[in-house]
Structure 1
Amino acid sequence: MQLGPIGFGAFKIGRNEKIKYPRPYDLPSDQEVDRLLDGLVELGIEHFDTAPAYGISEQRLGNWLGRRDVPVVISTKVGELFEDGDSRYAFDEASVRASVASSLRLLRRDVLDMVLIHTPHDDVTVLRETPVVETLQSLQEAGDIRAIGLSGKTPEAATMALEWADLLMVEFNADDPSHAAVIEQAARREIGVLVKKGLASGHLPADQAIPFVLNQSGVNSLVVGGLNLAHMADNLRIAEAALSQASH
C-alpha cells in the first residue's frame, strides 16, 4: 500500500465529546462530510484513518464509500470503544473479532487495509497479557485484514511490536520526539510508520510541525485531523514542499 505524505484523521467527523483539541466544534452534517471527503480525494489525499472509538466515523466513511468508487486506503483499530460518552477497552479474542466484523460491515469492505491495536497508556501490558496480537494475526491469515500494527503510547511497546507488526502508528512531534529511535528501527526492518499527533492536537504550527515529522528518517506518512478542507490543502502543500526540499 502506497501512502501519500498526509493522511486524513477522521476523528472529527464522528465525535466531539471528551476531546483533546484546544477548541470545541460541532459535528458536520452528512452533506458536509461528503464534501470534505470528496475534496480530500481531489487534493490527492487517499488515506483515511478511523476507529471504533471515533464515534460514528466508521459509519460515515462507509456511507460515503458506498456511493463512491475511489481507491482509498482505510486504517481502523481494535481495542478501544466509545459508548455513552466514555471510553472502554477490550482486548479479549471475542471482542477483537467482533470489532473487526463491525468495521468490515460499517466500512463496507470485504477486507480491511490496516488494523491497529488502539491502546490505553499501559500499552506494554496489553501486548504482554492479552491475546490481541494473536487474534489479529489469525484474522490476517484468514484474509480479513491486509496489514496489522500498533497505535500505542510508549516507545517500549512500539519496540515490542517490531517483532510482529506490518506498521506502527506513533505519536511524534517537536514537543515529543521520544519515538525517534524506534521509528528508525522500523525503517531498517521495512515496517511502515504513520505519525499521529504531529501537530500536538493543534498546538503546534503546521509550517514547522509537518516538516519536522516528515524529515524524520523512517516516517512514511503523517495523519492530520480536521474539518477545514483549506487547512488540509495547506498541510499537503507544506508536506510536499518539505519533501521536495529534502530531496534536493
Structure 2
Amino acid sequence: MMPRKRLGRTDIEVSTMGLGTVKFGRNQSLKYPTPFDLPSDEQVRRLIDCAHSMGVNLIDTAPAYGYSEERIGDALRKSRKDWVISTKVGEEFTPDKFSDQGHSRFDFSATHTRMSVERSLRRLRTDYLDLVLIHSDGNDLNILQQTEVLPTLQQLKQEGWIRAFGISSKTLEGGLLAAEICDAVMVTYNASQQDEAPVIAKSAQHGAAVLLKKVLASGHICHDAPAPGAVVHKVKAEIDPIQQALDFAYAAQGVTSAIIGTLNEHHLRDNLFKAIRAQDSAVSTNE
C-alpha cells in the first residue's frame, strides 16, 4: 500500500503519490507527446477506484483542467471523506471549438479567488477543500507579494473553507518564498528539470509540504518506454525509464508526494508499484 506523510505543518495525511487529473477534463493546449480523447465517466471511476485500492488518497485538479472538477465531484459523491482534494485558483482555461488550441487567462484578485473557491466547492460537491494552490502564470514573486490572492486564501482558511494553501510555482525565487509563507509548494522536478531543487530543501527547513509535478516530464519519459508486460530485448528491459524517473524523484529528501496522471488503468497500477519500489529504495539508501 502507498505510504502516507503529513502535509507540511497541517494535520492532513496524504499518500506519497497523488493522482493527477488534467486528462480527466482537458485535452487542448497541453505538452503531452500524443493527442488523446477525454475519458468516459466509467473510465474516470475505474482510475479513481484503482488508485484508492492501492492506498492513494490525494487527488489533484484545477479549474483550468476543463471538466476535471465536476467529474471528480461526481465520482467521489459517496467517498469524499476518503480523499484529500487539492485544487487551484488563478488560471481559467477556455477551449477552442474550432481547433485543439484553447487559451488561458489569469486573475489573482480577491474577488476572483473567492469566486473560484466557491465554484470549486460546488463542482467537487464538498463543503471544504483540503488544499488550494495558486496556479501561477510564471510571475511567482509578483503573485505572492503584489496581488490579493495570498491574503484571500489565508482568510478563506481562517473561515474554514480550505484547510491549507500554497502555490504551483514556476520559478526558483517564487518557490523559495512560498516555502516560508505557504503550507505547500508544488514544483517541477525530474532529472532534466532540477532548477527548483533548492525549494525542496528549504521547504523541509520551514515545514512546508512539497508536491512534485512533471515527474515523468508530461508523459515524455514514459512515451518511449515499453508497455507493462511487453516482451522487449533483454538489454533494453534492464533500463526502465519510468522506474528511473520515480527513483530520482523520491530520492530527494523532503518530498511529500509526487502527482502523476494517466488514462490507462494498467499504467496507473504499474506506476503505483514502481513508486512504492522507489520509496523503499530511497529508505534503504538513506539508512
| Shorter-chain TM-score tier | over 0.9
Quote the residue 2:272 is aligned against: 236
The residue identity in structure 2 corresponding to 1:38 is: D
Match of 2:69 among 52, 58, 72: 58
Gaps of 5+ in 1: none
Instruction: Tell me the TM-score normalized by structure 2.
Output: 0.84
Conservation of the 8 A alpha-carbon contact between 2:70 and 2:124: yes
Q: 2: CA distance between counterparts of 1:30 and 1:197?
A: 25
Conservation of the 8 A alpha-carbon contact between 2:247 and 2:281: no
Offset from partner CA, 1:168-198 (integer Å, 9 cap, x none) = 1000110011111121110111110000001
Instruction: Tell me the TM-score normalized by structure 1.
Output: 0.97
Match of 1:212 among 245, 248, 255: 248
| TM-align CA RMSD | 1.2
Offset from partner CA, 1:183-236 (integer Å, 9 cap, x none) = 111011111000000111012231111110111011111000111111111111
Question: 2:236 aligned with 1:200, yes or no?
Answer: no
Conservation of the 8 A alpha-carbon contact between 2:50 and 2:269: no
Structure 1 70/138 Cα, relative in aligned 2: closer, same or farther at 3 Å? Answer: closer
SS in 2 for 1:3: strand
Question: 2:157 aligned with 1:140, yes or no?
Answer: yes
Q: 2: CA distance between counterparts of 1:99 and 1:69?
A: 20
SS in 2 for 1:117: strand
**TM-aligned CA deviation for residue 241 of structure 1:** 1.1
**TM-aligned CA deviation for residue 69 of structure 1:** 5.4
Question: 2:16 aligned with 1:5, yes or no?
Answer: yes
Q: 1: CA distance between counterparts of 2:116 and 2:268?
A: 29
SS in 2 for 1:116: strand
Offset from partner CA, 1:24-82 (integer Å, 9 cap, x none) = 00001112111221122112221110000000000000011114355111100000011
SS in 1 for 2:220: coil
Quote the residue 2:51 is aligned against: 40
Quote the residue 1:166 is aligned against: 183
Quote the residue 2:207 is aligned against: 190
Structure with bigger gyration radius = 2
SS in 1 for 2:15: coil
Question: 2:30 aligned with 1:19, yes or no?
Answer: yes
Quote the residue 2:283 is aligned against: 247
Percent identity between matched residues is 46
Q: 2: CA distance between counterparts of 1:68 and 1:111?
A: 14
Q: 1: CA distance between counterparts of 2:124 and 2:48?
A: 14
